[in-house]
Copies of this chain bind each other. A is one copy, B any other.
Amino acid sequence: MKLTILGASASTPKLNKHTTSQLLKIKNHLILIDCGEGIQMQLRKFKVNFTKISHIFISHLHGDHYFGLIGLISTFRLLGRENDLNIYAPEGLQELINLQLKLSGSWLNYKLIFHTLKSKRQKIIFNNEDFIVKTIPLNHRIYTNGFLFEEKFDERNIYKSKIKEYKLEIIDIKKIKKGEDIILKNGKKAENAIFIKKSKKSKKFAFCSDTAYHEKIIEFIKSVDFLYHESTFLDSHSDLAKKTKHSTASDAAKIASAANVGKLILGHFSNRYRSQDDFLKEAKFHFEDVELAIEGKKFDI
C-alpha cells in the first residue's frame, strides 16, 4: 500500500494548506479518503492519474472533509469518465450531490454508486480479492467513521525460480497451487512447501479523523501497520479539544501506544499553530514512531 497526503489542515483551507484528504493505492486500486476543497488541484499537482480513482471514502460531512467532492465528480464527467465511481459516506451526501447535479442541469457519463453509512457499529463496507475495508466508529460532534484498510495476499504464491529449477509442467504448478506435493522428473517426491513463498503479512492502515480521545477504537486498530490519527490541538488546548470533540497529539499517541501500532501519522492540525514541531515532540513522549502528515508526503505501508 502507498499513502499520499493531499491535505492535513483543519477546518479551513489556506494557501498550500489544504484540508483533509489522502490517496491510498492498494495494488492497482486507487482510493481517495476524504476530499477537502481544492483536492482536485492537489491531485494534479502531485501528478496523480486521478481518473483511476475507483472508491471514495468520506468520514463525515464537515466541509473540510468533503467540499472538494462535487468538483471532482464534475471534473470526472468533463474528462469523459466511464467507469463506475463508488462513494462511501454518511446519509445526506447522496441527496446533496443529486441536488447539485439537478441544479446544474448536468448528467454523468458514468455510474455514481452511493454506499450510505449509518451504523454506529463496525461494519465491513468493501471486500474483494485484493482488499477489505471496515468502518471504525469514531466519537465526533456529528456521525463520523474512520476506515480500516486491509490488503489481501494470494496465499499460494510459487517461486518463479523453482519452476525453472525443477522444470515444472503446468500440471505440477496446478497441483502445487492446490497445496499438493508432486513427483519430480527424477521420480522423487517434492513437498509442496518448498515451492511456496512465505505469504507476506497482510498490511493494515487505519484512518481516524475526526475524533475525541476514544479508547473504544483501540480494539479496531490493534497492531495495524500504520495509524493516521487526527491531532487538531496540543495539550495546551485540551479544553478546546474536549469541547470540539477533537484530539491532542498526546491523545493520538496514547491511542497508538495502547493499540500497539507500527507507525503513527498525525494530521488535521489547527491553523492556530505556526509550526507542527510541537505535535511531534508531544506525541513522542507517549509513542516513538510518529510522523507528521505533510502535503505531498508519501508513505510506503
Which A residues fall within an 8 A CB radius of B? 11-15, 37-38, 40-41, 44-45, 61-64, 67-68, 70-71, 74-75, 78-79, 90, 92-93, 95-96, 99-100, 102-106, 141-142
Quick one: which of A11, A15, A38, A105 has the most chain B CB within 10 A? A38
The complex places the Cα of A176 from the Cα of B224 at a distance, in Å, of 82
Please name all residues of chain B whose beta carbon is closer than 8 Å to the beta carbon of A79 when the two chains form the complex: 12
Copies of this protein in the assembly total: 2
Please name all residues of chain B whose beta carbon is closer than 8 Å to the beta carbon of A45 when the two chains form the complex: 15
Please name all residues of chain B whose beta carbon is closer than 8 Å to the beta carbon of A37 when the two chains form the complex: 37-38, 40, 68, 71
Apart from A37-B40, A63-B100, A104-B142, what 8 extra A-B contacts exist at CB < 8 Å? A12-B79, A13-B40, A62-B106, A95-B99, A96-B99, A99-B99, A103-B142, A105-B142
The complex places the Cα of A99 from the Cα of B66 at a distance, in Å, of 14
Contact in complex: A71, B78 (CB < 8 Å): no
Please name all residues of chain B whose beta carbon is closer than 8 Å to the beta carbon of A41 when the two chains form the complex: 13-15, 38
Can you list the 7 inter-chain pairs with the closest CB atoms, starting with the nearest? Answer: A38-B38, A61-B103, A92-B103, A37-B71, A12-B75, A105-B142, A63-B74
Please name all residues of chain B whose beta carbon is closer than 8 Å to the beta carbon of A142 when the two chains form the complex: 103-105
Quick one: which of A44, A63, A95 has the most chain B CB within 10 A? A63
The complex places the Cα of A79 from the Cα of B271 at a distance, in Å, of 11
Known: A61-B104, A67-B71, A99-B99. Contact between A78 and B12, CB under 8 A?
yes
Quote the shortest CB–CB distance from A108 to chain B (angstroms).
Answer: 13
14 contacting pairs across A/B (C-beta < 8 A): A11-B78, A12-B40, A15-B44, A37-B38, A37-B40, A63-B100, A63-B106, A64-B74, A67-B71, A90-B103, A92-B99, A96-B100, A104-B142, A105-B142
Residue of B nearest to A42 (CB): B15
Quote the shortest CB–CB distance from A101 to chain B (angstroms).
Answer: 9
Contact in complex: B74, A70 (CB < 8 Å): no
The complex places the Cα of A251 from the Cα of B78 at a distance, in Å, of 24
Contact in complex: A14, B141 (CB < 8 Å): no
Please name all residues of chain B whose beta carbon is closer than 8 Å to the beta carbon of A40 when the two chains form the complex: 12-13, 37
Please name all residues of chain B whose beta carbon is closer than 8 Å to the beta carbon of A64 when the two chains form the complex: 74
